[in-house]
């Protein structure tokens, strides 16, 4: 009964969060408190440009406590500890089944439990005291965690288009800023060598369907919805599976893509603009899109990044439409002025 209450209390703590990163940290902390754990790590895989990147999302356990006062040592220790699970992780990822290995005096477990938007989540455990009952309890906790994550993911999806909605937009911009700091901030270990990618970055594009209000006025909102669905489907076809696509609001959309160099990023949005202009619609002679594009600076704030993309989009709309306006290029040519930077929170 005492263990059952502890498990319920732990899951209440976990599901008390609505932010994915805090959920993971709470889950790992709960498991480390419930069991005699040497190491517990929540990791996820993300494919970027045909390379698989592993991110250590959260870690707890005795082996980490030794260096918890020294951030650089703690980060290094997390990565070294992960190496102990590496072969099991590969087997687990391939089979999608629980993997357990006994290496006296320790038991190593890797649980597969969640896939979302091309990301695989795994939980790694290392302990001297493990049992079948412990496996069942952790598996049950992971199922609750998975279901709760799925519910959160559903609430972040636009019902009409199936793209991510504005609710998730701010958090994903923050993640992209973090991904731009690949050397340290994410505690990442790459499964393949990075190669020379020094000029590659993440990019934000805010897109607006030109004259969409006229489409609604002339043909009604139902037809307008059809255009929005067609537009969002074309976004999925044009951009890559791991790029983040949003319905930003109304006829405005957003895409976070990368890591790409300047030429590749601009080409991706130009390719999409051209595809939109060649769409064949029975009630609209010509559909076009304008976009503001900005490179996500690893030291910038979300509000500044979104503001720069919006500023570039406004320029595109006011100067002919049916074009991609790049914020840095507009600044360098003196066509717009860089606004005063702010650190205020971005609210939706």
Question: How far is 154 from 165, CA to CA, in rounded Å?
Answer: 10
Tens digits of residue pLDDT in 281-302 = 888 989 999 999 999 887 788 8
Q: Is residue 129 situated within a structural domain?
A: yes
Does one domain contain both 81 and 182? no
Q: Is residue 219 situated within a structural domain?
A: yes
Q: What is the CATH number of the domain that holds 124?
A: 3.30.450.40
Q: Is residue 322 situated within a structural domain?
A: yes
Q: Enumerate residues 6+ apart whose C-beta is below 8 A from 241.
A: 47, 118
Q: Is residue 300 situated within a structural domain?
A: yes
What pLDDT sits at residue 1?
Answer: 43
Tokens coding 91 = 């087997």
What pLDDT sits at residue 4?
Answer: 45
Question: How far is 91 from 155, CA to CA, in rounded Å?
Answer: 33
Question: How far is 158 from 240, CA to CA, in rounded Å?
Answer: 19
Q: What residues form DSSP beta bridges with 321?
A: none
Question: How far is 142 from 72, CA to CA, in rounded Å?
Answer: 30
Q: What is the pLDDT along the chain (348 residues), one digit of tens a residue?
A: 444 444 444 444 444 444 566 677 888 888 888 888 899 999 887 766 566 777 787 888 888 765 544 454 445 567 777 888 888 988 988 888 999 999 989 999 999 887 766 667 899 999 998 888 889 889 888 888 888 777 776 777 888 998 988 877 877 777 666 565 543 333 343 434 444 445 688 899 999 999 999 999 999 999 999 999 999 999 999 998 778 899 988 999 999 998 889 999 999 999 999 999 999 888 898 999 999 999 988 778 888 999 999 999 999 999 999 999 999 999 999 999 887 665 554 444
CB 294 within 8 A of CB 308: yes
Question: How far is 324 from 293, CA to CA, in rounded Å?
Answer: 7
Tens digits of residue pLDDT in 68-79 = 444 544 455 677
Of 118, 112, 117, the C-alpha closest to 91 is 112
Question: How far is 23 from 42, CA to CA, in rounded Å?
Answer: 11
Q: Is residue 38 situated within a structural domain?
A: yes
Does one domain contain both 199 and 309? yes
Does one domain contain both 147 and 183? no
Q: Is residue 170 situated within a structural domain?
A: no
Q: What is the DSSP annotation of 1-28?
A: -HHHHHHHHHHHHHTT--SHHHHHHHHH
Does one domain contain both 140 and 230? no
Question: What domain range includes position 78?
Answer: 2-155
Q: What is the CATH number of the domain that holds 312?
A: 3.30.70.270
What pLDDT sits at residue 5?
Answer: 46
| Cβ neighbourhood burial of 307 (10 Å; 0-12, 13-18, 19+) | buried
Interior angle at CA 205, CA 163 and CA 152, nearest 5? 30
CB 85 within 8 A of CB 124: yes
Question: How far is 7 from 119, CA to CA, in rounded Å?
Answer: 27
| Dihedral Cα 112, 114, 115, 121, nearest 10 deg | -60
Does one domain contain both 139 and 193? no
Q: Is residue 201 situated within a structural domain?
A: yes
Does one domain contain both 285 and 181? yes
User: What is the number of domains present in the chain?
Assistant: 2
Q: Is residue 161 situated within a structural domain?
A: no
Does one domain contain both 11 and 57? yes
Does one domain contain both 50 and 107? yes
Of 31, 221, 39, 230, the C-alpha closest to 134 is 31
Tens digits of residue pLDDT in 108-117 = 999 988 776 6
Does one domain contain both 147 and 198? no
Does one domain contain both 12 and 128? yes
Q: Enumerate residues 6+ apart whose C-beta is below 8 A from 122.
A: 42, 43, 44, 45, 89, 92, 93, 110, 111, 112, 113
Question: How far is 296 from 178, CA to CA, in rounded Å?
Answer: 10
Does one domain contain both 235 and 146? no
Q: Enumerate residues 6+ apart whose C-beta is below 8 A from 158.
A: 164, 165, 246, 247
Does one domain contain both 286 and 327? yes
């Amino acid at each position: 009964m005492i263990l059952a209450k502890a498990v319920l209390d732990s899951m209440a703590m976990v599901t008390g969060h609505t932010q994915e990163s805090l959920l993971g940290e709470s889950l790992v902390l709960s498991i480390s408190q419930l069991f005699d754990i040497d190491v517990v790590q929540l990791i996820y895989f993300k494919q970027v440009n045909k390379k698989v990147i592993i991110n250590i999302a959260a870690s707890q356990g005795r082996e980490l406590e030794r260096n918890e006062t020294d951030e650089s040592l703690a980060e290094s220790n997390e990565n070294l500890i992960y190496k102990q699970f590496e072969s099991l992780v590969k087997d687990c990822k391939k089979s999608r089944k629980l993997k357990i290995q006994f290496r006296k005096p320790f038991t190593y477990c890797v649980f597969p439990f969640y896939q979302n938007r091309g990301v695989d989540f795994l939980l790694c455990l290392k302990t001297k005291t493990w049992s079948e009952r412990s496996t069942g309890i952790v598996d049950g906790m992971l199922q609750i965690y998975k279901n709760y994550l799925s519910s959160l993911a559903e609430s972040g999806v636009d019902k009409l288009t199936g793209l991510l909605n504005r609710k998730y937009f701010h958090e994903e911009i923050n993640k992209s800023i973090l991904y731009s700091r690949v050397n340290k901030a994410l505690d990442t270990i790459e499964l393949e060598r990075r190669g020379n990618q020094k000029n590659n970055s993440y990019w934000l594009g805010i897109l607006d369907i030109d004259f969409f209000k006229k489409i609604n006025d002339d043909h009604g909102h139902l037809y307008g919805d059809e255009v929005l669905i067609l537009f969002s489907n074309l976004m999925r076809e044009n951009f890559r599976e791991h790029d983040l696509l949003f319905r930003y609001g109304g006829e405005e959309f957003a895409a976070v893509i990368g890591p790409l160099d300047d030429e590749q990023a601009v080409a991706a949005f130009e390719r999409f603009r051209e595809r939109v202009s060649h769409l064949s619609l029975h009630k609209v002679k010509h559909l076009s899109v304008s976009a503001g594009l900005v490179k996500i600076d690893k030291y910038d704030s979300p509000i500044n990044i979104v503001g720069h993309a919006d500023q570039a989009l406004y320029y595109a709309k006011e100067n002919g439409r049916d074009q991609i306006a790049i914020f840095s290029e507009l600044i360098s040519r003196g066509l717009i002025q860089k606004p005063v930077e702010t650190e205020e929170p971005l609210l939706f």
